[in-house]
Structure 1
């Protein structure tokens, strides 16, 4: 006895729901913001060394202080998100990052 496979006709690729596309774009924007932020710190290190002096240990402290503050603010962002909702918290974070970058 052989089993007969029934093929379902293909209707092409399924369209992604609009919410999925917005979530993907928000995640990509967030990743880009973090990448730009970390790159800016690393790009600034030679200038900090040249203008302010200090050695490799001082530059490591700059990176460590940045990472520590980033982690502390990430914890605070979770508490803000619980209070105001994820959409408002995300928008607030993007606005604050943009204002701080311009300043």
Structure 2
């Protein structure tokens, strides 16, 4: 099992709009791809960064599913994020493997 983590640091003025968009639009679209078995959305409370920081996490059963998501679905989904919130966020993406 793999955990795909997307950490976003948002400008204060974009945070509320982004959160609603994530919950109502983006996360359902990501889950509708069928590449992930679960997700969670977390708010970072002790971030050293300015703005508001969130982590969107998605669980994939295999590297093949993750790679398919990245090649087939991620470009359009990320483009939508970039267009809607242009210059109002920074994103960091990491892929992690469960140890136990």
More strand by share: 2
Q: TM-score, normalised by structure 2?
A: 0.31
Higher helix share: 1
Larger radius of gyration: 1
Higher relative contact order (CA 8 A, sep 6+): 2
